[in-house]
A and B are shown apart, each in its own frame.
Chain A
């Protein structure tokens, strides 16, 4: 675990949290935050695309199906827990479920750098799994919310799909993947200096801002209640176990399984909040933003990543794969 914590990105995140909690006047300008998030998403896509260009297409199929299944099952499990154990209203339970089923690209990026640091090899196509898991959970959760809705205005499906599939994170991730896959490693050489070399440094810088945002959410912990705090830690553990199992069943390596578990455990805070705010307007944003950003994101970055790797080693390694 110490190995993971001694990653500059994670330490910058902790610095952001400390500065936020202590009410420092440190602020990252919004324009920089937006620029960094654009950069990170496109580079994550491009790196995945370059790796994908070296992989055979057949090997991708089964894990993608597994990722898709996770994207559908996780929000359903989360919804049932929130609705029946946590006694949340339908819109709130569905909105939170959307966040836990969808994924966090930044958690994914930190997971990759953690695996590299630990010298654990992983499948090149893992970015495809990230893209696969971004949307399905949001759709599932919004369908749940709609099934229970009798009144209030409903966003037309056409508009909703436009909102979700053309959201910036999907456009940048898929666009980056395609560009990376078409150009391949040699084609990337001329732009490597801009897109690949500064990635880890800028990721660390971005996490400073995420720490500040998470700190502003940590202040809301008292308002959201103890159940949601426990859910924010318990749900990623359940999802990660499911992810490990799917990783094993679909034949991923230890590294690939750890990535799939991390994706399953991560909660979205870019794509899901934007879609949910429009599609489930009566859900309280304090609940889903605080759970996703204030609890699950910090938990995954610090304790989650090394834990999921250990589980992946245990579950996949045990069968001798």
Chain B
């Protein structure tokens, strides 16, 4: 088993394309996106229509990439967008895949 980082990002759907472009530049090898809804300091994110829709990104990667992703997100989006990012350790079966 190999320990990797799972970076979870919950943010506004409108950022999806922008983030995907950037993740590729930051050496992220793969990710999963799902629709999400919830409520936080920026109000209800009901997913009722585009402007209030949320998404959740999950990225499994090494520690260095996780740090790059987190610092990129914090610098560029935390101030103006609904976004939370958290990182956890996960056990994976294939070292070179992530």
| Shortest beta-carbon distance from A281 to chain B in Å | 4
Which residue of chain A has its CB nearest to the CB of B82? A285
Q: When the two chains form their complex, are residues B14 and A277 in contact, meaning their CB atoms are under 8 A apart?
A: yes
Q: When the two chains form their complex, are residues B50 and A27 in contact, meaning their CB atoms are under 8 A apart?
A: no
- Contact count band on A: 20 to 34
Contacts of B43 in A (CB 8 A): 286
Which residue of chain B has its CB nearest to the CB of A153? B76
Instruction: Tell me whether A6 is interfacial, beta carbon within 8 Å.
Output: no
Option from B18, B53, B81 in Cβ contact (under 8 Å) with A30? B53
- Given contacts A30-B49, A33-B48, A212-B48, whether A277 and B76 have CB atoms under 8 Å apart is no
The answer for the CA separation of A30 and B45 in the assembled complex, in Å, is: 13
The answer for the CA separation of A34 and B51 in the assembled complex, in Å, is: 12
Option from B18, B49, B50, B79 in Cβ contact (under 8 Å) with A278? B18
Q: When the two chains form their complex, are residues A216 and B46 in contact, meaning their CB atoms are under 8 A apart?
A: yes
Q: When the two chains form their complex, are residues A289 and B49 in contact, meaning their CB atoms are under 8 A apart?
A: no
- Given contacts A27-B48, A30-B53, A216-B44, whether A274 and B14 have CB atoms under 8 Å apart is yes
Q: When the two chains form their complex, are residues B48 and A213 in contact, meaning their CB atoms are under 8 A apart?
A: yes
Q: Interface digits, A58-101 against B, CB 8 Å rule (1 contact, 0 not)?
A: 00000000000000000000000000000000000000000000
Q: When the two chains form their complex, are residues A30 and B48 in contact, meaning their CB atoms are under 8 A apart?
A: yes
The answer for the CA separation of A278 and B21 in the assembled complex, in Å, is: 14
* Secondary structure dominating the interface of B: mixed
* Secondary structure dominating the interface of A: helix
Contacts of B15 in A (CB 8 A): 278
Q: Interface digits, B70-92 against A, CB 8 Å rule (1 contact, 0 not)?
A: 00000011011100000000000
| Shortest beta-carbon distance from B40 to chain A in Å | 14
In chain A, positions 274-291 with a C-beta closer than 8 Å to chain B are: 274, 277-278, 281-282, 285-286, 289
Contacts of A212 in B (CB 8 A): 48
Q: When the two chains form their complex, are residues B12 and A213 in contact, meaning their CB atoms are under 8 A apart?
A: no
Q: When the two chains form their complex, are residues B80 and A281 in contact, meaning their CB atoms are under 8 A apart?
A: yes
In chain A, positions 186-234 with a C-beta closer than 8 Å to chain B are: 209, 212-213, 216
Instruction: Tell me whether A294 is interfacial, beta carbon within 8 Å.
Output: no
In chain A, positions 26-80 with a C-beta closer than 8 Å to chain B are: 27-28, 30, 33-34
Which residue of chain B has its CB nearest to the CB of A168? B50
Contacts of B77 in A (CB 8 A): 281
- Given contacts A274-B14, A277-B12, A277-B14, whether A282 and B80 have CB atoms under 8 Å apart is yes
Instruction: Tell me whether B47 is interfacial, beta carbon within 8 Å.
Output: yes
The answer for the CA separation of A269 and B14 in the assembled complex, in Å, is: 14
Contacts of B44 in A (CB 8 A): 216
Option from B18, B48, B80 in Cβ contact (under 8 Å) with A216? B48
Which residue of chain B has its CB nearest to the CB of A278? B14
Instruction: Tell me whether A243 is interfacial, beta carbon within 8 Å.
Output: no
Instruction: Tell me whether A256 is interfacial, beta carbon within 8 Å.
Output: no
Contacts of A34 in B (CB 8 A): 50
The answer for the CA separation of A277 and B11 in the assembled complex, in Å, is: 13
Which residue of chain B has its CB nearest to the CB of A212? B48
Contacts of A30 in B (CB 8 A): 35, 47-49, 53
- Given contacts A216-B46, A274-B14, A277-B12, whether A282 and B79 have CB atoms under 8 Å apart is yes
With A30-B53, A216-B52, A273-B51 given, name 7 new contacts (CB 8 A): A27-B48, A274-B51, A277-B51, A278-B14, A278-B15, A281-B77, A285-B51
* 6 smallest beta-carbon distances between A and B, as pairs: A281-B80, A273-B51, A277-B14, A282-B80, A33-B49, A30-B47
